[in-house]
Structure 1
Amino acid sequence: MKFLLVGTTRERGGAEVHFVTLAKALAAAGHEVEAVVYPGAPVALALAGSAVRLHPGRFRNVFDLRGYRVVTAAARRLKPDWLVGDFGKEYWPLILLGRLLRMPVALFRHRIKPMKGYSARLVPRLAQRFFAVSEYARRDYIERGMPAPRVQVLYNPVDTDSCRPDATQRSALLHVLGLDENAIVLGYTGRMLAWKGIFPLLEAVNMAMAREPRLQCIWLGDGTDAQRLQERIAVLPLAHRHQVLGWVDNAQAYYNVLSMLALPSLEPETFGRVSVEAQACNVPVLVSDVGGIPETLQPGATGLLLPPGDVDAWCEAILALCDDATRRPMAAAARDFAERRFSSSVIAAEFVRQLGDAKR
């Protein structure tokens, strides 16, 4: 099949990772894939040098004629079987171009925030396929007025070739971090925002550290509450057992030094990509039972599902995974679970299958 993906975002987030991973996976499966992307943006840089042919373009809004010209030219040359979009500002342009060029349109929604009333009702009806990235997100969209038969679920793909256990990388990073092989390392990676649960997690980690001398913690990411987190850590008696590394371009490499990963969000999220990435590296996870996050693990087998913000429960769960007899079977099961359910090749194949069903 032929695909033209349109994603002129300049941001760096989960939807952008989805766009890049899906495009590469479709190309790796032998499909002809091209993409209209904002030049120099993270998406363009991530796809540079791949099998995906890039067209520089941008949509400031639905009325930006420059974007229409670029997409139209690329579509007329490629003659794609599907136009594919991930970002709200391009929903209506792709729907309009799909009608004009007589090409079907597939759209993804990555946010809980509702679309405006008329868009929530019309966009899923006018696109030939409209995907939520979790069952939770689908239910939420339907409750907000989207027509249930028009909303399908397709999970976020994870590149399990890049996210995989690597003993050499583990040893090198342990050395860089000044940690020995016997350390038990809890990691947080993501935006440093209060609603992400970083402060209850900090409290739970410190309670656990007081009882487990091998426990260390590394924090990866940036955000508006990063400075406040660092200030709270600085005054702790066990501050030396925390490392705040800030934004790291290759955060995936750090999964290899983790004994467990925490995803402690206090508010609903559509999915929880870092949970799957960690499991693909044989890292069990501790995650909040909120939003679409519970769909990213096999509770009790590849990690633990916990009440958001419950410091005592999180402390006990951290200590439970400090026990080798509990942690190691979960670690051993984690990668197989991630590959079977979320690998980019599996999701790309399911995407193609569902698009084929739409054309019948």
Structure 2
Amino acid sequence: MGRHQPPRPLAAGDVVAVYSEALGAWAVSQVTGIDAAAKCAAVLELDWSGPEPAAVADLGDVRPLRLTHHSWGGMLSYCNHGWVLPRNFTVIGSLLPLVTEPSGAYASVWGRGEQLARQRHWDSGDRGDWNAPYSLTCTAEELAAEHTRGAVRSDVKHLTVRQITRLDCARLVAVFPNLTRLSLSGNLGTLTSAAALNRLPRLQGLTIRELFGMDAADCLLPCHVPEMEEVSLYGIPAGYAAAMRKAWRPQVRHGVQLDVHGARKPEWVAANAANPLRDWDGREHIPRAGYRKAVAQYEATRDAFLAEVTGGERYGDIAEIGRAFAAALNALDSRSSFIETVEREELFEALDFLAEEAQTAAGCDLSAARAALIEGVESSRDW
């Protein structure tokens, strides 16, 4: 396909079907429009489920899925997605688009009947949240308890593990052999035996964030995970990133959404272990010079704060340190306006990190000093 057409053939009016774990049946959606410039498809979920349909005629009279559960208020289940039709979706025919207005919502993952399952749960009279029985979200510490019990969790299909400092993928695969979706994240944590993920033959989606320890030999290979539809990697070793790109780029035309960025060399990891703003490095809307100067200002603020709290309780001086930090970031942001909601939150998280480091070094409670620092920042910031 050319640059102006989806990698898998797709057109307005196409009806697509996919097996839904949420429903235990097949679900269908309609593509109502294609935006070639944005590489997006507007996708309307339909109020239908049943055995695998071979053609649109098998659906009978179909209607759009309207959501009344919780606070949706009758809105259509209608969203823009990337125009890569996932591998396990099948075009079963075409109808005139059931809606013609554009969708204002965006999501990276195509729906697989989860909204229909939630709506049916609500319509049954149960007003509580619908929780997928096949999904598990836990911390790495909680996962270690699963390993200790030694039970095989064949029922878990979607697994999300957060706050990883160190995780053995071979043990994970042994406990959860039937995964279709796996999301792993840490904070410069370490994955070992990552090649073991090739022993998850049903895997359809893999997300890895801010984890290291993998190399090219750990690459997930298409021949071992033939149903894979989404590979999303950020903050991972450069060698692993290169190998994954090489292996999966040819699969995009078969329905794989590939997103690999933030590849890091070992020197970067060592240099940024104590840098809470490291995620800004390479972020699309943050200028390189702005990132470097923000880190330099953070380091200067950290040093000044530590000097004050170890030299006495002159919290008025600490408030001034906060004002200086805010003024410096004001000046940087005025040049290119890169501090948005996420960056603002990350700056305050960096100040919390700074205060925690200083408290450990000083060996005493610095909550009043931290409050003075934040007060100084709040009194002067424009971001």
| TM-score of the superposed pair, with normalisation by structure 1 | 0.29
Which has the larger helix fraction?
A: 1
Q: Which structure would you say has the larger Rg?
A: 2
More RCO (CA 8 Å, sep 6+): 1
Q: Tell me the TM-score normalised to structure 2 length.
A: 0.28
Higher strand share: 2
